Amino acid sequence: MKLIYAKDYDSMSAIAATLIANEVYTNPTCVLGLATGSTPVGTYKELIRMHKNNDLDFSKVNTVNLDEYKGLTKDNDQSYAYFMYENLFKHVNIDMEKTNIPNGLNEDIEDECNRYEAVIDSLGGVDIQLLGIGQNGHIGFNEPDKVFVSKTHAIELTQNTIEANARFFNSIDEVPTVAYTMGNRQIMNAKTVVLVANGANKAQAIYDLVAGDANPMSPASILQFHQNAYIICDEAALSLVAQKAPELLK
Ligand code: PGA
């Protein structure tokens, strides 16, 4: 695991986008694992800029997203399908047929989880996985739990996550309470992981990830076992590490 200091949000986004773009340049048919939330928006903006200015070519790339709310249609402006279209896909030359997101409308949980797991396996797994991190340490919607859940699954969102995501909805009552998420197997099998975090509200989660014990109550801490994970943080997200474990920043 490599902890990387970025001076601010733009610099964090530029570093993450460079790692992803390098993968696309060297392996044009790669499988990109993608994330939603406010943190990766800058990374997508930078990738769009590289597409427009440097001919970064997405035409042969496959994508798999981490998660999707259960019950939202693709055209619901809070669905992750909608987010991906608005924040990346419609701005680059991606083949929409090569993009994959859990189907939030599939009522049959077992069927959807098996289908999505098989999609990722059929692509040969993820080459580079972009991740945000929840204030509670979640990656994708792998919430704090007694165990690290391996496979794609449906999960009841914690109150902390519902409250954190309520800012995107008209009211907290509209936030879905269940989501489909890729499990830890596909995330840990990704050849490279790029986690981005900014802001003081992520400082505890980043401290637990890099300095705590690997523990499913801090879901991102499983990345301590990943051989090629880049944890890219701005100063505020690193503030607790700087205070309590400064040796990790050297
Ligand atoms: P955020 O979400 O980027 O909107 O803070 C991150 C996450 O919950 O994974």
- The string of pLDDT tens digits covering residues 17-72 is 999 999 999 999 999 999 999 999 999 999 999 999 989 999 999 999 999 999 99
Can you give the pLDDT at residue 162?
95
Rounded to whole angstroms, the Cα distance separating 36 from 241 reads 25
Mutate to test the pocket of ligand 1, among 133, 139, 233 (most ligand atoms within 8 A of CB): 133
Can you give the pLDDT at residue 188?
98
Q: β-strands 67-69, 31-34: how paired?
A: unpaired
Overall average pLDDT of the 135-154 stretch: 96
Pocket lined around ligand 1, Cβ cut-off 6 Å: 37-39, 132-134
What distance in angstroms lies between residue 96's CA and the mean position of ligand 1's atoms?
A: 24
Rounded to whole angstroms, the Cα distance separating 230 from 220 reads 12
Atom of ligand 1 lying closest to residue 199 CA: 5
DSSP string, the chain: -EEEE-SSHHHHHHHHHHHHHHHHHH-TT-EEEE--SSTTHHHHHHHHHHHHHH----TT-EEEESEEETT--TTSTTSHHHHHHHHTGGGTT--GGGEE---TT---HHHHHHHHHHHHHHTTS-SEEEE---TT--BTTB-S-SS---S-EEEEPPHHHHHHHGGGSSSGGGS-SEEEE--HHHHHHSSEEEEEE-SGGGHHHHHHHHHS--BTTBGGGGGGG-TTEEEEE-TTTTHHHHHH-GGGG-
Residue 204: alpha-carbon gap to chain centroid: 18
Rounded to whole angstroms, the Cα distance separating 39 from 59 reads 25
Rounded to whole angstroms, the Cα distance separating 160 from 222 reads 20
What lies within 8 Å, CB to CB, of 137 at 6+ separation is 144, 205, 208, 209, 217, 218, 219, 220, 221
- The string of pLDDT tens digits covering residues 101-133 is 999 999 999 999 999 999 999 999 999 999 999
Can you give the pLDDT at residue 54?
86
Of 98, 114, 123, give the one whose Cα is nearest residue 190. 123
- The string of pLDDT tens digits covering residues 188-236 is 999 999 999 999 999 999 999 999 999 999 999 999 999 999 999 999 9
Atom of ligand 1 lying closest to residue 196 CA: 3
Q: Determine contact, residues 140/182, Cβ cutoff 8 Å.
A: yes
In terms of phi and psi (left: phi > 0; alpha: psi -120 to 50; beta: otherwise), the region of 140 is: left
Instruction: Write out the catalytic residue numbers.
Output: 67, 136, 138, 143
Mutate to test the pocket of ligand 1, among 38, 130, 195 (most ligand atoms within 8 A of CB): 38
Residue 250 has pLDDT above 90, yes or no: no
Tokens of 80: 């992750």
